[in-house]
Amino acid sequence: MTGGGSQREVLFEFVRVGNAVKVTAVDAASGTEATIVGAAGTSEEVLKRNALGKLDYVMRRRGG
């Protein structure tokens, strides 16, 4: 997965909880992770994009 203009590996975990899906994105190099919750009917691509956006935000805030 790409982000911030460079190649990097990001792992995604999807856990369905009732009518919601918890998505965790993990930057493989640093171990930094971010979690979002979305509606179960939302496409996997949209959930991944949102989780990656939050991961990018968290990494910028931490200076990574």
Domain ranges within the chain, ordered by starting residue: 2-61
pLDDT for 63: 83
With beta carbons less than 8 A apart as the criterion, state whether 36 and 23 touch: yes
β-partners of residue 15 are 22
Write the pLDDT tens digit of every residue in 8-56.
999 999 999 999 999 999 999 999 999 999 999 999 999 999 999 999 9
Q: Which two tokens stand for residue 21?
A: 């899906």
